[in-house]
């Protein structure tokens, strides 16, 4: 069967890989000249299988109000609110109850754990060098209040059988020795023992080659303009390089998915949430992070990838613009200097990066069929697209191939919004 996969972000490439392994004739269409130049390019590299959680959580509305006036806030909202931003915020709010959080988290953890298994299989099967580190993920608490709040998280982690350890300051330093320089700034941490970190861009490129070896055709520099349909069936994809015809179509266009699907009458709840990262060479190995951390106060991730450190964070709601705003990268720089003051040298502008997370209000991606006979979605992976990529690719392959997925797919498709 001929399958067209719309785009070569990490989600599209993972989809193409498993579809090709199932014996389908796969073509990937991508507007850029190379794979993974969108949001999959310079993310924080965290494989947060255990720390998979939706942003919408009890307590977030109050925190968000405080962030709006804080000097170093993880959330920035453009005051010129558009209707789609208001709608997104409203939908986020509706998901901030304890019961919604529980449901959403369970769906995310299901996909993430499946991905964890798939990464392990991939590592066994292929000799990819993608700077994988298995040091766990250390969530850093700076206040007593955060330590207390972590108790609730631990109950959830126990329920999902996630392996973790609660650490005092000495424990945090043992996990990340360079924190010795800032021990007075931290109160403790939670370490997700099985979480990992790795370079998403490198992996995406290795996987692209593996796809090519399986016969996948990649057409770069092709811009998808419209999906043509007739009687609730897709009859082709219109691009600036002509039409593409296939038997089945998988849409994995990240933040652009909603716009492309809208003329078909599909109201996809995927909103672009801007995030920032800085990538810098390590100046002093002993003073740099060895694995990956999450600073709970500022919601900033710091990850060691080979000889570099990447620091990433911020949720900026400002539509589709990818402008690097000073307020956006100020907080990431502040957190890195605050926790690892001796790790890196001076930051230059070419080390800064920005892109859009394809976010759903409930944090869970949208994977599965829609009411068009031969159209499938694999999008809306938000903050955790790297973590969930392989699991999502496997699921969409099973659905497209007419097989029963290996995990429960309840609540993953778009019908949960209808």
Ligand X SMILES: Cc1cc2nc3c(=O)[nH]c(=O)nc-3n(C[C@H](O)[C@H](O)[C@H](O)COP(=O)(O)OP(=O)(O)OC[C@H]3O[C@@H](n4cnc5c(N)ncnc54)[C@H](O)[C@@H]3O)c2cc1C
- The stretches of 214-275 forming alpha helices (DSSP H) are 257-261
Contact call for residue 114 and ligand X (CB under 6 A):
no
State which residue, 27 or 46, has the beta carbon closest to ligand X: 46
Interacting residue with ligand X among 223, 327, 403, 415 (CB under 6 A): 223
Q: State the pairing for strand pair 233-239/224-230.
A: antiparallel
In terms of Cβ atoms closer than 10 Å to its own Cβ (0-12, 13-18, 19+), residue 290 is middle
State which residue, 143 or 262, has the beta carbon closest to ligand X: 262
Number of other CB atoms surrounding residue 324 within 10 Å:
12
Contact call for residue 133 and ligand X (CB under 6 A):
no
State which residue, 9 or 405, has the beta carbon closest to ligand X: 9
CA 136, CA 197: separation in Å to the nearest integer?
Answer: 8
Binding pattern to ligand X, positions 236-265, x when CB under 6 A?
----------------xxx-x---------
- C-beta of 119: minimal distance to ligand X in Å? 11
State which residue, 188 or 365, has the beta carbon closest to ligand X: 365
Contact call for residue 367 and ligand X (CB under 6 A):
no
Interacting residue with ligand X among 105, 113, 142, 357 (CB under 6 A): 357
Closest by CA position to 322, among listed 392, 396, 272: 272
- C-beta of 384: minimal distance to ligand X in Å? 4
Q: Which residue has the tokens 């798939």?
A: 118
Which residue stretch of 139-147, 174-182, 264-272, 374-382 sits at the interface with ligand X (rule: CB under 6 A)?
A: 374-382
Which residue stretch of 78-86, 178-186, 350-358, 410-418 sits at the interface with ligand X (rule: CB under 6 A)?
A: 350-358
CA 79, CA 302: separation in Å to the nearest integer?
Answer: 29
Interacting residue with ligand X among 3, 4, 5, 9 (CB under 6 A): 9
Interacting residue with ligand X among 107, 133, 304, 381 (CB under 6 A): 381
Binding pattern to ligand X, positions 179-218, x when CB under 6 A?
----------------------------------------
Interacting residue with ligand X among 4, 210, 216, 224 (CB under 6 A): 224
State which residue, 51 or 173, has the beta carbon closest to ligand X: 51
With contacts defined by CB under 6 A, how many residues of the chain interact with ligand X? 41
Binding pattern to ligand X, positions 296-315, x when CB under 6 A?
-----x----------x---
Interacting residue with ligand X among 50, 136, 189, 275 (CB under 6 A): 275
Return the residues of window 27-66 that contact ligand X according to CB under 6 A. 29-32, 37-40, 43-46, 48
Interacting residue with ligand X among 5, 11, 331, 336 (CB under 6 A): 11
Contact call for residue 316 and ligand X (CB under 6 A):
no
Contact call for residue 355 and ligand X (CB under 6 A):
yes
Q: What is the full DSSP assignment across 363-417?
A: S--EEEEESEEEEEEEE--GGGHHHHHHHHHHHHHHHHTTPPPSS--TT-SGGGG
CA 51, CA 193: separation in Å to the nearest integer?
Answer: 10
Closest by CA position to 406, among listed 115, 105, 20: 115
Binding pattern to ligand X, positions 384-403, x when CB under 6 A?
xxxx----------------
**CA 24 from chain center: how many Å?**
27
- C-beta of 162: minimal distance to ligand X in Å? 16
- C-beta of 34: minimal distance to ligand X in Å? 9
C-alpha dihedral over 180, 181, 182, 187, to 10 degrees?
Answer: 10
Q: What are the contacts of 146-154 at 24+ separation with CB within 8 A? A: 146/187, 146/296, 146/297, 147/187, 147/188, 149/59, 150/190, 153/190, 154/190
- C-beta of 358: minimal distance to ligand X in Å? 5
User: If residue 79 lies in a helix (H) or strand (E), which one and from where to where?
Assistant: none
User: What is the Cα Rg of the chain in Å?
Assistant: 21
Q: What is the full DSSP assignment across 144-204?
A: HHHHHHHHHHHHHHHHTT--EEEE-HHHHHHHSGGGGGGGGG--EEEEETT-EE--HHHHH
Which residue stretch of 77-85, 282-290, 317-325, 380-388 sits at the interface with ligand X (rule: CB under 6 A)?
A: 380-388
- The stretches of 22-137 forming alpha helices (DSSP H) are 60-67, 83-94, 98-125
State which residue, 39 or 208, has the beta carbon closest to ligand X: 39
Question: At what angle are helices 10-21 and 200-213 packed, to 10 degrees?
Answer: 30
CA 335, CA 179: separation in Å to the nearest integer?
Answer: 13
Sites of contact with ligand X (CB under 6 A): 7-12, 29-32, 37-40, 43-46, 48, 223-224, 252-254, 256, 275-277, 301, 312, 355, 357-358, 379, 381-387
């Amino acid at each position: 069967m001929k399958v067209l996969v719309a785009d070569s972000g990490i989600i599209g490439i993972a989809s193409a890989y498993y579809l090709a392994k199932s014996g389908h004739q796969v073509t990937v269409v991508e507007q850029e000249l190379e794979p993974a130049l969108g949001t999959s390019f310079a993310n924080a590299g965290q494989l947060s299988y255990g720390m998979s959680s939706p942003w919408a959580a009890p307590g977030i509305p109050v925190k968000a109000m405080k962030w709006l006036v804080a000097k170093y806030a993880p959330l920035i909202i453009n005051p010129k609110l558009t209707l789609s931003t208001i709608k997104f915020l409203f939908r986020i709010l509706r998901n901030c109850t304890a019961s919604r959080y529980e449901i959403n988290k369970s769906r995310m953890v299901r996909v993430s754990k499946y991905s964890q298994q798939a990464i392990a299989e991939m590592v066994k099967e292929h000799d990819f060098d993608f700077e994988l580190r298995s040091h766990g993920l250390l969530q850093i608490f700076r206040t007593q209040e955060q330590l207390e709040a972590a108790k609730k998280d631990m109950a959830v982690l126990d329920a999902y059988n996630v392996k973790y350890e609660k650490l005092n300051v000495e424990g945090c330093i043992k996990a990340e020795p360079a924190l010795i320089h800032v021990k007075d700034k931290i109160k403790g941490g939670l370490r997700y023992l099985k979480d990992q970190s790795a370079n998403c861009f490198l992996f995406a490129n290795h996987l692209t080659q593996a796809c090519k070896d399986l016969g996948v055709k990649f057409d770069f520099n092709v811009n998808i303009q419209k999906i043509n349909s007739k009687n609730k069936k897709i009859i082709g994809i219109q691009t600036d390089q002509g039409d593409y015809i296939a038997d089945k179509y998988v849409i994995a266009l990240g933040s652009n998915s909603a716009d492309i699907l809208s003329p078909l009458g599909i109201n996809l709840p995927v909103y672009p949430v801007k995030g920032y990262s800085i990538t810098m060479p390590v100046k002093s190995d002993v003073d740099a992070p060895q694995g990956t951390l999450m600073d709970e106060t500022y919601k900033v991730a710091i990850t060691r990838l080979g000889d570099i450190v990447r620091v990433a964070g911020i949720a900026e709601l400002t539509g589709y613009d990818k402008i690097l705003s000073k307020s956006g990268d100020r907080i990431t720089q502040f957190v890195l200097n605050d926790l690892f003051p001796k790790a890196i040298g001076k930051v230059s502008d070419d080390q800064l990066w920005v892109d859009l997370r394809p976010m759903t209000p409930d944090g869970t991606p949208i994977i599965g069929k829609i009411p068009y006979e031969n159209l499938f979605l694999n999008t809306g992976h938000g903050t955790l697209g790297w973590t969930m990529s392989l699991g999502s690719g496997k699921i969409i392959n099973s659905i497209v191939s007419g097989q029963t997925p290996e995990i429960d797919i309840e609540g993953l498709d778009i019908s949960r919004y209808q």
